[in-house]
Structure 1
């Protein structure tokens, strides 16, 4: 019984086939994502705008914002204590 060892040096054709398979897998993975890179950047920008709007509201109404934060913290604390 002679076990043949696989050739340690793959041929150019084998490497090209593997590269093509990897490209195909990458394209399939891109198609499965719910949004693309451009969409992710747009989501990030909208998130930053939303956080800026929240900061403006807090700056414009500091006392009600502090009371609201205290109330939410109190409720969350009570829920977690149970």
Structure 2
């Protein structure tokens, strides 16, 4: 009978050891998952920052090109006011004729 008690204690200790290992594995998995989630969040944050910088840079380039175009047009109008007025009037007449036909 003492053999059964010893076997029962051994089994109980083995179950406790397995539980301890499962707890350790659970903590390891939790830690690994947390690290991967943080790494994913960091990568997403970096990608969003890079995209933001690209959009900001593109918007700034477009603004500068628009300003240069406006300055160029203004310079041409100032240099040639009569032809500029005649061209604007002609464009207005064409647009008016197209709208009037509808």
Per the shorter chain, which TM-score range?
Answer: 0.5 to 0.7
Give aligned pairs, total. 60
Task: Give CA-to-partner distance per residue, 1:35-61, whole Å, 9 cap, x none.
Answer: 611111111011001000000000000
- Cα distance in 1 for partners of 2:71, 2:95 equals 25
Pair 1:80 & 2:99 matched = yes
- Cα distance in 1 for partners of 2:98, 2:56 equals 38
In the superposition, the TM-score normalised over structure 2's length comes to: 0.49
In the superposition, the TM-score normalised over structure 1's length comes to: 0.59
Q: RCO greater where, 1 or 2, for CA within 8 Å and sep 6 or more?
A: 1
Residue 54 of structure 1 is matched in structure 2 by 73
In structure 2, stretches of 5+ residues that fail to align are 1-40
- After TM superposition, the runs of 4+ consecutive aligned structure 1 residues lying more than 3 A away are none
Task: Give CA-to-partner distance per residue, 1:4-60, whole Å, 9 cap, x none.
Answer: xxxxxxxxxxxxxxxx5xxx4983xx48xxx61111111101100100000000000
Q: Which protein shows a greater Rg?
A: 2
